[in-house]
């Protein structure tokens, strides 16, 4: 089974980037494991995820 590390950063939650990435992975029959996630606590702070 192939695997790949994906990293996203920025406003990935409020822009729906992270949920859309999950949808794409699952729609293509994949699965994901969150290795690290950091959520910005203020609007000016970016979030980060490695999966």
Contact of 8 with 16, CB cutoff 8 Å: no
Instruction: Say what the pLDDT of residue 24 is.
Output: 97
> Cα–Cα distance between 30 and 41 in angstroms, integer?
30
Instruction: Say what the pLDDT of residue 1 is.
Output: 76
Domains of the chain in start order, with CATH, are: 7-50 (3.30.70.2690)
User: Is 7 in a helix, a strand, or coil?
Assistant: strand
pTM attached to this predicted model: 0.87
Structure confidence by residue, pLDDT tens digits, 8-48: 999 999 999 999 999 999 999 999 999 999 999 998 999 99
Instruction: Say what the pLDDT of residue 28 is.
Output: 96
Contact of 17 with 10, CB cutoff 8 Å: yes
pLDDT at 2 over 90: no
């Amino acid at each position: 089974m192939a695997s790949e590390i994906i990293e996203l950063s920025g406003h990935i939650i409020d822009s729906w980037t992270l949920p859309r990435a999950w949808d794409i992975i699952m729609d293509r029959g994949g699965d994901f494991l969150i290795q690290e996630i950091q959520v910005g606590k203020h609007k000016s702070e970016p979030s980060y995820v490695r999966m």
